[in-house]
């Protein structure tokens, strides 16, 4: 994933405590137990937070501004939303 520039390395201030992560993997099969899909999920280990500490700032991934603006306009105009899942997540993958 690093060769495809999926990750961006950033520096962390010494006074910040990071929450760890863990990967969850799942294989989906059809009714004949043939593998049809592999799934992976990166999960934050929120249980490692200490009550009252490190709660002042939270961060979450959000869409880029043009996408959020488009969604805001569609919602304000009472337009219908559709959701889709793109199977080829890494279109530039080798």
pLDDT at 59: 61
pLDDT top residue among 77 and 4: 77
- Distance, in Å, from the CA atom of 43 to the CA atom of 33, rounded to the nearest integer, reads 27
pLDDT at 61: 61
- Encode 37-73: b = buried (16+ Cβ within 10 Å), e = exposed: eeeeeeeeeeeeeeeeeeeeeeeeeeeeeeeeeeeee
Per residue in 63-89, pLDDT (tens digit) is 677 777 888 888 889 888 776 665 655
pLDDT top residue among 14 and 58: 14
pLDDT top residue among 91 and 21: 21
């Amino acid at each position: 994933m690093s060769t495809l520039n999926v990750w961006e390395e950033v520096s962390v201030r010494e006074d910040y405590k990071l929450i760890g992560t863990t990967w969850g993997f799942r294989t989906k099969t059809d009714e004949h137990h043939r593998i049809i899909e592999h799934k992976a999920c990166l999960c934050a280990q929120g249980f490692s937070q200490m009550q009252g500490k490190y709660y002042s700032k939270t961060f979450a991934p959000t869409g880029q501004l043009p996408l959020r603006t488009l969604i805001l306009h569609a919602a304000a105009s009472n337009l219908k939303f559709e959701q889709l899942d793109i199977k080829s997540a890494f279109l530039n993958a080798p």
